Amino acid sequence: MFASASVNGVPVEVHNEDGAKRVVVTKNLPGERWLQILTAAGCRVEVSQHPDIILDNATIKKLIGDKCDGVIGQLTEDWGSELFEALKAAGGTAYSNYAVGYNNVKVPEATKRGIPVGNTPGVLTETTAEIAAALTLAAARRVVEADSFMRNGHYKGWLPTLFIGSLLQNKTVGIVGAGRIGAAYARMMVEGHKMNLVYYDPYPNTRLEEYIKKYSELLRHSGEAPVAVRRCETVEEVLREADVVSLHCNLDDNTRHLINKERLALMKKDAVLVNAARGPCIDEAALVKHMQENPDFRAGLDVFEDEPAMAPGLAQLPNAVIVPHIASASMWTRSGMATLAAANVAACVNGLPAFNQMDISAYLEAPIASLPAAAPSIVNAKDINMKVL
């Protein structure tokens, strides 16, 4: 049950009208558990119904208004000094991004004002890795081109030369950023297709390496060819060696345009490049040019440099598979993200500490009355002297 209202001219759905803390949610979120968590924490929840898909700062400031304890915002919003100042002035003590990545948040601006910034790690890993795997297969085996060929009535019969793509089995997969999602994707490709793995990450992922070494032993014991894993010293090494390269690093000043004209030139002519990280990790105009000049080079893209726009020419490339930033779009993940974002805000508006542990399953499964009395993931907890469990 909810009531409809308007905040400074912006339509909202109001849940738990009598809640003492006012929490603004800038977009409708899936599932019910997140609302139950905020309600149980004594929050009145106002969910924006503004028709714009991406809210500008002026609209978000209207939603924040004069009194606002916390906000759940989106990765499409620009959370910097202007919005954190508005939130601070309204008495806000909590912000959570509805995402694991938070490159849209200028965390120092929140820290300066003592506002905790939450994110939602732990529920996106497998779902995002699965879309990267789907894009890899779709690009390597030309699934989208072939689908459109069928729909357009061009199929006149089986031919030995129709839509020949690349086999993944026993080839080399390269990962840039072997964190949670990169490692999950690596396991899918290594176990599913017996691929060898090379990766670049400033930090070694010894757990992943051990896992693959054990898997390789298992293959050897069952009479199959083993697989190899190696951490490379440079991104260039990965690009030269891999048949498939998938990006899973976070976006920051070091990874913006990590894939540029010069690095594309190092890749195999028939390589597959996948990006389910963040669009600006690739110089998209350079990628389009490279793919126009190298028709056997394929790409699978979930994210774009200037979303929702695409670089000129990209949509016309038959060798690109493009999907609209849906990597985390499974119901389990999207409702889990809502649960974690709500738990972040519910805890912070009530002055509770941060949980900040790898295993967040307690938030997803436990009865609401027995959730950990802490915010699942606060990225600036230490910087604002917030207690961490």
Positions that interact with ligand NAD (CB under 6 A): 100-101, 121, 124, 128, 176-182, 200-203, 248-251, 254-255, 276-278, 302-303, 325, 327-328
Residue number, 200 or 355, with CB nearest to ligand NAD: 200
Task: Output the CA angle 86-94-37, nearest 5 degrees.
Answer: 130
Contact 231, 201 (CB under 8 A): yes
The label of the residue with tokens 């542990």 reads 357
Task: Provide the residue count of the chain.
Answer: 389
Q: Structure tokens of 272?
A: 């597959």
The label of the residue with tokens 């390597």 reads 140
Nearest approach, Cβ of 146 to ligand NAD (angstroms)?
Answer: 25
Nearest approach, Cβ of 224 to ligand NAD (angstroms)?
Answer: 29
Residue number, 116 or 174, with CB nearest to ligand NAD: 174
Nearest approach, Cβ of 174 to ligand NAD (angstroms)?
Answer: 11
Contact 319, 297 (CB under 8 A): yes
Strand 320-322 vs strand 298-301: parallel, antiparallel, or unpaired?
parallel
Residue number, 85 or 126, with CB nearest to ligand NAD: 126
Contact 91, 70 (CB under 8 A): no
Nearest approach, Cβ of 275 to ligand NAD (angstroms)?
Answer: 8
Nearest approach, Cβ of 322 to ligand NAD (angstroms)?
Answer: 13
Write down the catalytic residue from 142, 263, 325, 334: 325
Residue number, 55 or 99, with CB nearest to ligand NAD: 99
Nearest approach, Cβ of 205 to ligand NAD (angstroms)?
Answer: 7
- Which whole-number Å values give the CA distances from 24 to 78, 80, 131, 333, 361, in the listed order? 16, 17, 30, 21, 25
Q: How far apart (Å, rounded) are the C-alpha atoms in residues 362 and 380?
A: 22
The closest residue (CB) to ligand NAD is 179
Q: How far apart (Å, rounded) are the C-alpha atoms in residues 129 and 132?
A: 5
Residue 50 annotated among the catalytic residues of the structure: no
Residue number, 23 or 301, with CB nearest to ligand NAD: 301
Task: Report the b/e string of 57-92 with b at 16+ CB within 10 A.
Answer: eebbbbbbeeebbbbbbbbbbebbeebbebbbebeb
Residue 193 annotated among the catalytic residues of the structure: no
Residue number, 39 or 97, with CB nearest to ligand NAD: 97
Residue number, 154 or 207, with CB nearest to ligand NAD: 207
Task: Output the CA angle 307-276-166, nearest 5 degrees.
Answer: 120
Write down the catalytic residue from 13, 85, 191, 307: 307
Nearest approach, Cβ of 102 to ligand NAD (angstroms)?
Answer: 8
Q: How far apart (Å, rounded) are the C-alpha atoms in residues 189 and 61?
A: 44
Q: How far apart (Å, rounded) are the C-alpha atoms in residues 250 and 275?
A: 11
Residue 307 annotated among the catalytic residues of the structure: yes
Contact 370, 62 (CB under 8 A): no
Residue number, 86 or 188, with CB nearest to ligand NAD: 188
Write down the catalytic residue from 278, 290, 298, 334: 278
Nearest approach, Cβ of 348 to ligand NAD (angstroms)?
Answer: 21
Q: How far apart (Å, rounded) are the C-alpha atoms in residues 152 and 154?
A: 6
- Which whole-number Å values give the CA distances from 32 to 14, 15, 100, in the listed order? 14, 11, 20
Q: Which residues are catalytic?
A: 278, 307, 325
